[in-house]
Amino acid sequence: MNKTAAVIKGDGVGPELVDAMLKVAEAAGTNVEFVPCEAGAAWWEENGGNTLIPDETWEILENSDACFKGPTTTPGGAGSPKSVAVSIRQKYNLYANVRPTKTFPNTNTPLGDVDFICVREGTEGMYIGEEVKLTDDVYIALRKITRPACRSIARYAFEEAKKRGYDTVVPIHKSNILKQTCGTFLEEVENIGKEYPDIDIWEYHIDNIAQQLIKNPQLFNKKVLLSTNLFMDVISEECSALIGSIGLIYSANIGDNYAMFEPAHGSAPKYAGEDKVNPVATILAGAWMLDYLGEKDNANAIFKATEEVISEGKYVTYDMGGSAKLSEMTDAIVSKIK
């Protein structure tokens, strides 16, 4: 029986990027049934309410084997709805947000080649979005850290290291200041680490690793960088610069029974409809979803074709030093697959 994937095209450049991903997946010969659904700021601006995800989309998600989400815009300001990604992560307990960060061939790497994984707890921390107004001048944001979530993300990180043959997990924290929240996170990483005696633990304070990633990023090659929700949100963005463009960073949100795949970048509304932005992150997130749904050969074909196009350098977008359009780079990847 064919697998199904809910597909949210999103906002800004999202629709054209997701169309590119679907075109590449079809060229690879996928048997996955893609079911389109609405979510994001554009839908909300037209329909209103307290959510960016309509009931019809939740129903499609419930009946799908995975979700693909294009970039979506999250409205700002008090009282505006929670982001699409956060809502889906929390609903399905997609506790592991994972970003492979690896240099592509023939690309401009400002600080040398890197190859590591960023693993981010995806369901709690500052991203619960709970804030309290104490007075007209004083506001407090709450950071939720639980032992079960820390254990889940720690185990995922060690299993990922084991699967990839990596020798180290790098927990990133600030337990000298946040003694209970970061302290609990670090305790659980150390406890889980005892079950993996062949994998080292390198602790880093958040401020120190931000410096070390610039000073000596190769120190972390073949390692898993691990942190809580907001800390790793920031650090993984820094890491994306090490491979030259966030347009190359694909990501997954993985739980025990469901997963959502997406490019790591935002919706870039100023480029919407210009056929300009880099499709790689979206295309490779789609390939990763195919792998998750059992189509490993199709996924490998897409990864191989994409790397070949990047390596040749003839059809790459502006952020990679080229002049190709989004559609031209997509067509070049399709040609390599065929």
Each residue of 229-284: pLDDT tens digit?
Answer: 999 999 999 999 999 999 999 999 999 999 999 999 999 999 999 999 999 999 99
Whether the pLDDT of residue 151 is over 90: the answer is yes
Is residue 103 a part of any domain in this protein? no
In a shared domain, residues 123 and 69: no
Same domain flag for 5 and 24? yes
Last residue of a domain, one of 242, 275, 298: 242
The mean pLDDT value of the chain amounts to: 96
333 and 219 in one domain? no
Answer yes or no: is 36 within a domain.
yes
Cα–Cα distance for residue pair 8/69, rounded to 1 Å: 5
CA distances from 292 to 65, 89, 213, 299 (A): 9, 17, 30, 9
Could you tell me if 109 and 244 are in contact, meaning their C-beta atoms sit under 8 angstroms apart?
yes
Condensed to tens digits (0 to 9), the pLDDT of residues 58-103 reads 999 999 999 999 999 999 887 789 999 999 999 999 999 999 999 9
Position 99 in a domain: no
Same domain, 135 and 233: yes
Whether the per-residue pLDDT at 135 is higher than 90: the answer is yes
Residue 22, pLDDT score: 98
Say whether 211 sits in a helix, a strand or coil: helix
Domain boundary among 191, 212, 242: 242
231 in the same domain as 135: yes
Q: Yes or no: say if 16 and 273 are a contact pair by the CB < 8 Å rule.
A: yes
Domain that residue 37 falls in: 1-93+245-337
Question: Which of the four pLDDT bands, split at 50, 70 and 90, describes residue 125?
Answer: very high
Confidence of residue 108 (pLDDT cuts 50, 70, 90): confident
First to last CA, the chain: 25
The mean per-residue pLDDT over the stretch 45-59 comes to 95
* Confidence at residue 1, expressed as pLDDT on a 0 to 100 scale: 73
Task: Examine the domain organization and report whether 56 and 137 are in the same domain.
Answer: no
- The DSSP annotation for 91-120 comes to HTT--EEEEEEEPPTT---TT---EEEEEE
Q: Which residues contact 68 (CB under 8 A, 6 or more apart)?
A: 5, 6, 7, 8, 18, 21, 34, 260, 261, 262, 285, 286, 289
Q: Please check whether residue 100 lies inside any domain of the structure.
A: no
**120 domain residue, yes or no:** yes
In a domain, 201, yes or no: yes
Residue 116 shares a structural domain with residue 230: yes
Indicate whether 134 pLDDT > 90.
yes
Choose the final residue of a domain: 242, 257, 286.
Answer: 242
**235 plus 250 within the same structural domain:** no
- Asked if the structure places residue 102 within a domain, the reply is no
For residue 173, pLDDT over 90 is answered with yes
300 falls within a domain: yes
Please tell me the distance from the alpha carbon of residue 248 to that of residue 232, in angstroms, as a whole number.
Answer: 18
Nearest in space to 288 (alpha carbons), one of 279, 277, 300, 304: 300
Shared-domain flag, residues 216 and 315: no
pLDDT of 238: 96
- pLDDT for 76 equals 85
* Mean pLDDT computed over 166-190: 98
Q: Is the pLDDT of residue 298 over 80?
A: yes
Are 122 and 28 in the same domain? no
Tell me: do 237 and 253 sit in the same domain. no
Both 142 and 265 in one domain: the answer is: no
> In this predicted structure, what is the pLDDT of residue 79?
77
Number of structural domains the chain divides into: 2
**What span, in angstroms and rounded, lies between the C-alpha atoms of 131 and 139?**
7
Q: What is the CATH classification number for the domain harbouring 86?
A: 3.40.718.10
Whole-number percent of the chain with pLDDT over 70? 100
162: phi then psi, degrees, rounded to nearest 5: -60, -45
Question: Which pTM does this prediction carry?
Answer: 0.95
Cβ neighbours of residue 55 under 8 Å, at least 6 residues apart?
none
For the stretch 182-235, pLDDT in tens is 999 999 999 999 999 999 999 999 999 999 999 999 999 999 999 999 999 999
